């Protein structure tokens, strides 16, 4: 009897009292509403203020190489020895090699980092809105703060050579009046003063600005990064995969906050890869042609010697084969 009463009491305690639960929710309703509203506002703010990431894709077709011996491809397929996977892995390694990625870095000057100084938190959002309205227009200064860029600013550097000690160190370019500018180091000391379109030198830095569009007083953060560091980072960021097994189609993908940069980078990588393949095939064809030209005189001398030996044998044996002599003359 004792055991049954305890079991009955335990079953009663395990039951959920909906009235008590509802009462608890009503007692803490303002806490629940406040927390839910706070999470909603934070999520909405992040969705509006977060920098969007764009993805660019490219497709490269890998041509299968003709086997050196006739019928070798058929024999390999019959034995199940297909080299498609190995060939795709080789081409993927070539696409992500330092030579290919490095040529794209040099073409786009990706080792020079240029970032406009934005207002904290909402600066990037306001700049994106201004660019969406008119990509070529320069947004007006807000709140009287000229040191920040509010949208439409552009800086194109043709030359930016820094000493080894200044590599990977942030510098500041301050926009002046009528195309002039100043370059400051990370301590705020002036390194040089220049003008758009004219080379400037100072503090061991050689610089030439090709295009500058910004309000006077606005600042850009500059950094000349190490070339090898940039190449290694981009090798990890670029994605290359084969579309289907033994299809010979490679898909390239790259993500960046700048859609134009993402597209241009993949285009440069694909062009460098194709150019490298053409140069490699041209070098192989040139080497084969040179080898043939080198061996041709020896082969001709051997053929002449064989014809002379054949003629001497026929004269000695008093045998004449018109068809064979005709072929030899031809």
Q: How far apart are CA 228 and CA 213, in angstroms?
A: 30
134-144 pLDDT, tens per residue?
888 899 999 88
- CB-hemisphere CA count at 13 Å for 19? 0
Task: For residues 13-38, give the mean pLDDT.
Answer: 81
Q: What is the pLDDT of residue 38?
A: 93
Q: What is the mean pLDDT of the chain?
A: 83
Residue 325: band (very low, low, confident or very high) from pLDDT cuts 50, 70, 90: low
pLDDT higher than 80, residue 145: yes
Q: How far apart are CA 280 and CA 264, in angstroms?
A: 24
Q: Which residue has the higher pLDDT, 310 or 231?
A: 231
Q: How far apart are CA 196 and CA 62, in angstroms?
A: 44
Lowest mean pLDDT among 163-177, 216-230, 284-298: 284-298
pLDDT higher than 60, residue 82: no
Q: What is the pLDDT of residue 119?
A: 92
pLDDT higher than 60, residue 163: yes
Q: How far apart are CA 252 and CA 96, in angstroms?
A: 10
146-158 pLDDT, tens per residue?
999 999 999 999 9
Say if residue 20 is exposed, middle or buried (CB neighbours under 10 Å; 0-12, 13-18, 19+): exposed
Q: How far apart are CA 211 and CA 198, in angstroms?
A: 11
CB 144 within 8 A of CB 268: no
CB 122 within 8 A of CB 181: no
Lowest mean pLDDT among 14-28, 211-225, 292-306: 14-28
The arrangement of strands across the sheet holding 205-213 comes to 154-161, 205-213, 200-202
State whether the Cα torsion 23-29-30-31 is positive or negative. Answer: positive
CB 172 within 8 A of CB 184: yes
**What are the start-end ranges of the H helices in 138-258?**
227-237
Lowest mean pLDDT among 176-185, 213-222, 291-300: 291-300
Task: For residues 295-315, give the mean pLDDT.
Answer: 81
Q: What is the pLDDT of residue 304?
A: 82
54-81 pLDDT, tens per residue?
999 998 887 765 544 445 455 445 544 4
Task: For residues 21-44, give the mean pLDDT.
Answer: 87
Q: Does the reported pTM lie above 0.95?
A: no
CB 219 within 8 A of CB 118: no
Name, in order, each residue with C-beta under 8 angstroms of 12's C-beta and a sequence gap of 6 or more.
Answer: none
């Amino acid at each position: 009897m004792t055991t049954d009463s305890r079991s009955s009491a335990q079953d009663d305690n395990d039951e959920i009292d909906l009235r008590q639960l509802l009462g608890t929710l009503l007692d803490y309703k303002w806490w629940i509403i406040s927390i839910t509203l706070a999470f909603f506002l934070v999520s909405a703010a992040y969705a509006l203020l977060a920098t969007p990431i764009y993805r660019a894709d490219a497709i490269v077709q890998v041509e299968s190489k003709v086997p050196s011996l006739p019928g070798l491809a058929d024999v390999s397929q019959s034995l199940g020895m297909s080299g498609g996977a190995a060939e795709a892995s080789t081409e993927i390694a070539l696409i992500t090699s330092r030579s290919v990625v490095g040529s794209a870095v040099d073409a786009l000057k990706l080792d020079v980092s240029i970032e406009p100084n934005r207002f904290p938190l909402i600066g990037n959002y306001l700049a994106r809105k201004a660019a969406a309205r008119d990509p070529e227009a320069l947004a007006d200064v807000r709140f009287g703060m000229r040191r920040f860029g509010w949208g439409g600013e552009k800086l194109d550097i043709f030359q930016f050579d820094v000493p080894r000690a200044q590599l990977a160190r942030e510098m500041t370019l301050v926009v002046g009046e009528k195309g002039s500018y100043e370059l400051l180091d990370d301590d705020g000391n002036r390194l040089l003063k220049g003008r758009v379109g004219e080379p400037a030198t100072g503090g061991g830095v050689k610089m030439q600005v090709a295009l500058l569009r910004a309000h006077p007083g606005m600042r850009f953060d500059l950094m000349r990064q190490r070339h090898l560091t940039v190449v290694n980072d981009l090798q990890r960021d670029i994605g290359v995969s084969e579309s289907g097994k033994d299809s010979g189609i490679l898909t390239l993908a790259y993500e960046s906050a700048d859609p134009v940069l993402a597209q241009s980078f993949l285009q440069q990588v694909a062009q460098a890869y194709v150019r490298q393949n053409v140069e490699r095939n041209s070098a192989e064809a040139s080497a084969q042609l040179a080898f043939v030209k080198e061996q041709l005189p020896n082969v001709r001398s051997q053929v002449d010697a064989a014809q002379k030996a054949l003629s001497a044998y026929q004269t000695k044996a008093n045998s004449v084969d018109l068809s064979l002599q005709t072929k030899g003359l031809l």
